[in-house]
Every structure is written in structure tokens, then in C-alpha cells.
Amino acid sequence: MALESLFPRNLFRRDLTIDPGTCQTVVASRRQGILARERTRVVLAAGLARGNGAPPVLAYGSESLSRNFAGRRIQAIDPVVRARLVHPIAMDLLLKEMIRKTRFQSAFSLAFGLSLGMVAAPNLAPADRSDFLALSVEVGRTTAKLIPAPFAAVRGCGLDIHGPRAHMLLDFGGGKSYAVVTSLGDIAALACAEFGGVDLDEAIRRHVERRSHVVLPPAAAERVKCTIGSVYPRPEPLAMEAVGVDNRTGFEKKALVDDNELRDILIDACEPLLTLIQRCLAGTPAELAADIAAGGVTLLGGGALLYGLPEFLTERLGLTFHRAEDPVNATVLGAQALLLEGQED
């Protein structure tokens, strides 16, 4: 009896899917789901070098935001900016550390091979795609493939990629966003913008500095956005204190921020998102418009969690917008499904 009849050929094969974002990087596998999620940042010691010429790593991912580096010369690197890989070495260090912490690799898994898929943002230049593919091979020490983010997103939202019905999605990412219409396994319309959650954070920082002379760290502005930020009225008003530095004295200072004052700031900051959706709709074939009107637009990405975003977009654009069941993980889980389907071909 053939060995393959007793054991499916992919029974022992280990697989990884990686979604490298501007703000967060996610690693998943079919047997364990989401393995790790980390801030896409690496902190190196500046001016020092190890035997191989590379500076020592002081912190990876989320730890890079929580550790105190007072008195140390450091270099904080964001390896992915607006969906482009700008520092491959730092990203390689981050991914290998994330995988090591999950204890994913073992002699057993290596003996039977590793399949690795990397999510690739739409409209990447050929050079950028090559950079991500090279990174995938380096991390997995094996053959790897790039998985287009729009198809991964459609799959991760539980929609039929190959069916005749058109689907429209809006991925509101950390540094880059896109709106896409798919039908019959192809992209019918696509619009991308270098706009994301980091731009909302920056709008909050500018507002607080103008009003209170307090310069907030990016992480503090992000906390304000996630805690009380909104683009649609809340049932009850919210407020919070944010800690920054007084731009006149240099001393630590707190600023009180409430959701009402932030709402106008965030609505204005979301104008590029409205333009992005309108561009995609303008490029959509007329015969698909009925499907989109009936099915609405699915929101995903970290930005989709902004309070009131579906209601705001529905009111402004006259289409129904709804969040995906799992907006943050939809793309990486969809990529995982596509990777496994590719193995079974």
C-alpha cells in the first residue's frame, strides 16, 4: 500500500502565513490559527556592532514601545512603511523572533518541509514585490509565495472569490488602504491610497498640540483614537487624559481630550477614505453595480474598528457598509486558506 494512501501528503507539512503591516505584523498557521501579533518595529543599539557587523537588537515588536531606553543611543526602525518593505534586515529579525517565540519551528517540522505565504498589498511595484518574496524565502528557508491581499481579504470574509456575484471591500490599514471590487476570480476595480490609521493618529497629535501645547507620542495618540475616537455620535460622551510633553517648557504635561472635539478632527481626516471609495466605485463596471448596492461594502483592517465608521460611510456615500466578522484577522486567515488550497492543487 502506498504511503500517501495512509498519510495525506500535507499531513506533516508545516505552513506559515505572514501579513506584514505598517503598524502590526501577524503570523498564522493552519493548526494553531493566529500564532503571533506584534508591532512592526525593531529597536537597535546605535553606534555599536557585533562580530558580524550588525548592531545588537534591544527590543522587538510591542516591547519596543513599552521599554524605557532613557540614556541609551538607539535606532528605532519601522521596517514596513505604507506597505513597502524599507528595511529587509530589520523585518527579517522581527519575523524570526516572532516565530521563535511561538516555538513553531522544530526538527520534526523542518524534516517534512515548511510552506510560507506572504500577504502582498495591491499595486506594489515589481521591486517591492521582489523584496517581500526574498524576505519570505529568507525567513522560511524554503520556497515561498506572495498572496494578493484583495483575494485573501475576500476569502477571509467568507465570500466566494470565483462566483459571478461582485463583492466590494474596503481595507482600512495602518499606513495604506484600498477599495476593491472582485468578481469571477478577478479584480474588477481597485483604488489604493497611502492613507491609514497612522494619519488619524497624526491628526489627533496636531489638534492636541494646537489646543493644549502638548506634544503626544504617536503611541499615546493611538490610544486616544482607540479609546474615545469616533466619526459618529456615541450614546454617551467620553473623555480621557493623555500624557505628552509641553512644547514650551519641555516638561511632562497632561491634556484632557473628549470625544466630541475629536469627532470633527477625525471626520475631516477621513476625507481621503471617502475619495478612495468614490474612485473605486467610479471604476466599477456598470453591470456589477447592482451586486454592490445589494451586498454593500465589507470593512476590514484595523481602521475598521474606529467607532461609528460603518454608519458614517453609509450616511455619506449612500451605500451600506458593514464590518467583517473578524476585520483585523480576515486577510491573514484568508491568505492561510488560499495557501492551503494551493498545496492541494
Work out the pLDDT band at 3, boundaries 50, 70, 90.
Answer: very low
The parent domain of residue 254 ranges over 197-266
In a domain, 248, yes or no: yes
The model's pTM is: 0.90
In the listed set 266, 288, 315, which residue is the last one of a domain according to the structure? Answer: 266
| pLDDT above 60 for 6 | no
pLDDT at 194: 96
Residue 219: other Cβ atoms inside 10 A: 11
Residue scoring higher pLDDT (334 or 3): 334
pLDDT at 296: 97
Give long-range contacts, CB 8 A cutoff, 24+ apart: 36-41: 36/98, 36/99, 36/101, 36/102, 38/62, 38/94, 38/98, 39/64, 39/65, 40/78, 40/79, 40/80, 40/91, 40/94, 41/65, 41/76, 41/77, 41/78, 41/79, 41/94
Q: How far apart are CA 164 and CA 288, in angstroms?
A: 9
Same domain as 312, residue 173 = yes
Same domain as 190, residue 85 = no
Residue 85: other Cβ atoms inside 10 A: 22
| pLDDT above 70 for 103 | no
| pLDDT above 80 for 31 | no
Residue 4: other Cβ atoms inside 10 A: 9
| pLDDT above 50 for 1 | no
Span 17-26, mean pLDDT?
A: 95
Same domain as 182, residue 167 = yes
pLDDT at 345: 41
| pLDDT above 50 for 7 | no
Element at 284 (helix H, strand E):
none
Q: What percent of the chain has pLDDT over 90?
A: 75
In the listed set 249, 266, 283, which residue is the last one of a domain according to the structure? Answer: 266
Same domain as 141, residue 219 = no
Same domain as 317, residue 179 = yes
Grid cell at residue 277: 471609495
For residue 226, with 0-12 CB atoms within 10 Å meaning exposed, 13-18 middle and 19 or more buried, which class applies? Answer: middle
pLDDT at 64: 86
Same domain as 242, residue 114 = no
Same domain as 188, residue 83 = no
In a domain, 183, yes or no: yes
In a domain, 54, yes or no: no
pLDDT at 112: 53
Same domain as 126, residue 35 = yes
| pLDDT above 90 for 4 | no
pLDDT tens for 118-135 read 999 999 999 999 999 999
Name beta bridge partners: 246: 214
pLDDT at 67: 82
Span 211-219, mean pLDDT?
A: 95
Work out the pLDDT band at 170, boundaries 50, 70, 90.
Answer: very high
Same domain as 84, residue 18 = yes
Work out the pLDDT band at 104, boundaries 50, 70, 90.
Answer: low
Q: What percent of the chain has pLDDT over 70?
A: 90
In a domain, 109, yes or no: yes
Span 300-328, mean pLDDT?
A: 97
| pLDDT above 90 for 255 | yes
| pLDDT above 90 for 227 | yes
How many structural domains comprise the chain? 3
Q: How far apart are CA 311 and CA 226, in angstroms?
A: 17
User: Which CATH number do you get for residue 217?
Assistant: 3.90.640.10
In a domain, 110, yes or no: yes
User: Which CATH number do you get for residue 180?
Assistant: 3.30.420.40
Same domain as 109, residue 27 = yes
> What is the layout of strands, in order, in the sheet containing 167-172?
186-193, 177-183, 167-172, 297-300, 321-323
In the listed set 227, 251, 266, which residue is the last one of a domain according to the structure? Answer: 266
In a domain, 62, yes or no: no
| pLDDT above 70 for 69 | yes
Span 2-11, mean pLDDT?
A: 44
Span 244-273, mean pLDDT?
A: 97
pLDDT tens for 80-99 read 999 999 999 999 999 989 98
In a domain, 73, yes or no: no
In a domain, 58, yes or no: no
Mean pLDDT, the chain, whole residue set: 89
Residue 183 near residue 153, CB atoms below 8 Å:
no
Work out the pLDDT band at 2, boundaries 50, 70, 90.
Answer: very low
| pLDDT above 80 for 49 | no
Same domain as 30, residue 144 = yes
Same domain as 19, residue 113 = yes
